[in-house]
Chain A
Amino acid sequence: MKILLSGNEAIAQGAIQAGCSFYAGYPITPQNEIIAYMAKHMPKKGVFIQAESELAAINMVYGASAAGVRAMTSSSSPGISLKQEGISYIAGAQLPAVIVNIMRGGPGLGNIAPAQSDYFQATRGGGHGDYHLIVLAPACVQEAYDLTQTGFDLADKYRIPVMILGDGILGQMMEPVEIRRQKTENRKQKQPIKPWALTGCKGRKPNIVKSFFLREGALEEFNLKLQKNYEIIRQKEARFEGLFLSDAKVILVAYGTMARIAKSAIFELRKEGYKIGLIRPISLWPFPVNAFRHPSIVNRHPSFLVIEMSYGQMLEDVRLAVGGRQQVEFFGRSGGGVPTEGQIMNKVKKILS
C-alpha cells in the first residue's frame, strides 16, 4: 500500500512502524510535522510528551530508553545543539535512541531554509566525550521511512544513539511511500530483550544506568569498550549508493537532498557524453570509506567533486577516504542557497576542461 506523506510524516510513521512507543519533542521549524504526527498517531499504549524544552525532551528519551522501550525525539539544528548534552549521556550510558535532525540554516538562529551544515556536529559526536552516533541520511521520503526503522534496529543492536539527518526540503517534500516493515535480523521477535533495562529488580540484581566512572582506570576501560563497538560498526554498517562508478571520470559525492540534485545533473551530463558517476553516502557515520578505495575506482584515477549545502564539511571525510590519491574538488552553498543542477554541471565541465 502506498500513501502520500511528507518526509517528516514518513519519519514519524516509520518510527511507529518500528515499535517506537515513546516520543518527546519541542516545536521547531522545519520539523513540526513530526511532533504533530506523533501526537496524533502514537499508539494508545505508547507515550507522547510535548516537553518544556529540548533538554527535557532528550532527557525524557534517556529515561524512556533506560526503561527499555524504543524512544525518539526530533528537532532542527538549534534544537539539536541544545540536545547535545543529553545525547552524550545517552552514548555514555549505552542507551539506544533515535534522534531526528531536519537541518536548517545556521549558525545561531540562522533561518528556516534547508541546509546540511550540521554534518560535523552529527558525525563527530556533537557533545562532549569520545563517542559517535550512527548517522543515516535519507534522500527521499521512502528512504526516510525505511531508514528510521533501520535506525531503531541499529540503535538496539549496538546500544547506541542513531541520528536521522535530513534537511528542510526532505522534511517538507511529499512523495508516495510504500508502508512496510523493514527486514530485521530477529524477525521472530519484534524487539530485542533488554536485560539491562530499569523495570524494578524483582528476581534479579539491581540494574544501574550510568555514565560515571570514578575509579582509576575505569573510564578508560569503558571508553575502550565503546571504541571496540564503534570499530565493529565501522566494519559492518557503512552504507552508500553508487552510480556509474565503472566508467566515471568525475565522481560526484553528495548525500540527502543534495544527492538528488546531483543525480539530475549526472543524467544531463551523461546525455551530453560526459562520463560522470555518483557516490551517495547513506551512513555519514560510519563514513563509507571503502566506496572510495575500491580498486576499480583507485586504478582509474577519477576526480571527485563533493557537493554540499554547507561549506566543506563532508569534504573532509572524502579527503580522508581518498587519502591524497586523487583530486578532490568542492562546490557548496549554504544559508538558504542550494546548488543547482546548472551550477553543478558548470563545475563538472570546468574540472574536465
Chain B
Amino acid sequence: MKKTFKHCQSLYDLPTHYCPGCGHGIAHRLVAEVVQELGIREKTIGIAPVGCAVVAYDYWNFDCSEAAHGRALAVATAIKRVHPRNIVFTYQGDGDLAAIGTNETIHAANRGENLSVVFINNAVYGMTGGQLAPTTLLGQKTSTSIEGREKKAHGYPLKISEMLALLPGVCYIERVSLHSPPEVLKAKRAIKQAFENQIHNLGFSLVEILSPCPTYWGLAPKESLDWIRDVMQKEFPLGRIK
C-alpha cells in the first residue's frame, strides 16, 4: 500500500498533555505543518505563552522561547529585530494576548512588527481553572462569573482582532475556527498566509483561532465543537477581518 501521510518533521512524534477534545493539539500541528511546508523549520523561532501551551516547545521541533505572561510580543519584537531573516511567531491565548498583554499586543501591532501571531481564543483561562477571560461570552459561566458573564459587572467580550484591524501597521487579520474539518483546513491556510506575509516583509499578521476547551466549558468534546459553531462564532464571526 502506498504511504500517503508522513509525520511532520517540525512536530515531535509525541502524545500531548492536553485534555481530550482540546484545540491546542490541532493548532500546534497546523503551525508545525505550515513551518514544514514553507521549508522554514531551521530559521523559525517560536514564542510559547504562559498558559496551557507553555510547553509547546516540547512538541515543536525548532527553536523556541518562553515569555512571561502577556509579554510574548515584546520578546518576539526583539528577536525579530535582532534576527530579521529568521521567522518569528508568537502563540498566545486570550488571557495572555487580550488581558495581561494587551499593551504589548497593541504596540507591537502598531509598530507594524514583521511578526506572525497565532491567537487561541477559547473564551476561558484554561490552565488556571476556567476563569472569566476577556473573550468570555455574555452569559457564559466560569469559575469567576458563577452566574454567567454579566455586562454590568464584567463588561463585554473583547474583540481584540477587530480593534487591531484599525491600526495601519497591521497587514492581515483573520478569524478561523477548529470546529469542523473544513474549518481546520481554512485555519491552516490562514496560518500559512500569516507566515508568508512575514517572509515577504509585509508586517504584522494575526490569526485568531476559536478553539474548544471542553474541560472548562463543561461540555463533551463533540458538544464543544457544536458550541463554537452554534454560539461562539455568532459573537466572534469567522472570516478575514483585515
Taking the nearest CB of chain B, how far is it from the CB of A242, in angstroms? 41
Can you pick out 12 interface pairs between chain A and chain B where the beta carbons lie within 8 Å of each other?
A22-B82, A24-B78, A47-B78, A55-B74, A64-B78, A71-B78, A86-B68, A86-B71, A89-B66, A202-B42, A206-B62, A209-B65
Question: Is B76 within 8 A of A63, CB to CB?
Answer: yes
Apart from the given pairs A59-B71, A89-B66, 12 other A-B contacts in the complex at a CB distance below 8 Å: A49-B77, A52-B107, A57-B74, A59-B78, A63-B74, A63-B78, A64-B78, A93-B65, A198-B83, A206-B63, A212-B54, A212-B66
7 A-B pairs closest in CB distance: A63-B78, A63-B75, A59-B74, A200-B43, A202-B42, A52-B107, A59-B71
Set A67, A201, A212: member contacting B78, Cβ < 8 A: A67
Interface residues on A, range: 35 or more
Q: Decide: A22 and B78 in contact? CB cutoff 8 A.
A: yes
Near B by CB (< 8 A), chain A positions 47-97 give 47, 49, 51-53, 55-57, 59-64, 66-69, 71, 85-86, 89, 93
Residue B215 at the chain A interface, CB threshold 8 Å: no
Known contacts A89-B68, A201-B42, A212-B54; is A52 also within 8 Å of B104 by CB?
Answer: yes
Known A22-B78, A64-B82; judge A198-B45 contact (CB<8 A). Answer: yes
B binding-site residues for A, Cβ under 8 Å = 41-45, 54-55, 57, 60-68, 71, 74-79, 81-83, 86, 103-104, 106-107
Nearest neighbor of A200 in chain B, beta-carbon distance: B43
Check if A199 sits within 8 Å of B63, measured CB to CB. yes
Docked CA distance A89–B48 (Å): 14
Q: Enumerate chain B residues within 8 angstroms of A59, measured Cβ to Cβ.
A: 67-68, 71, 74-75, 78, 104
- Chain B residues with CB under 8 A of A67: 45, 78-79, 82-83
What is the chain B residue whose CB lies nearest that of A53?
B103
Chain B binding site: helix, strand, loop or mixed by DSSP?
Answer: helix
CA distance A212 to B57 in the complex (A): 11
A352 within 8 A of B: no
CB distance from A50 to the nearest CB of B (A): 10
CB–CB B64/A208 < 8 A: yes
Cβ proximity bits A1-43 to B, threshold 8 Å, 1 near / 0 not: 0000000000000000000011010000000000000000000
Does B77 lie within 8 Å of A63, measured CB to CB?
Answer: yes
Residues of A near B81 (CB, < 8 A) are 22, 47, 49, 64
B62 near A66: Cβ-Cβ < 8 Å: no
A51 to B104, CA, bound (A): 9
Residues of A within 8 A of B107 (CB): 51-52, 56
- Determine the distance from Cα of A60 to Cα of B76 in the docked complex, in whole angstroms: 8
Instruction: Please measure, in the bound complex, the distance between the C-alpha atom of A296 and the C-alpha atom of B67, giving whole angstroms.
Output: 50
Q: Which of A51, A71, A85, A210 is in CB contact (< 8 Å) with B65?
A: A210
Please, how many angstroms separate the alpha-carbon atoms of A85 and B69 in the complex?
A: 10
Cβ-defined contact, B63 with A62, below 8 A: no
A56→B71 contact, CB < 8 A: yes
Task: Flag if A66 contacts B79 (CB, 8 Å).
Answer: yes
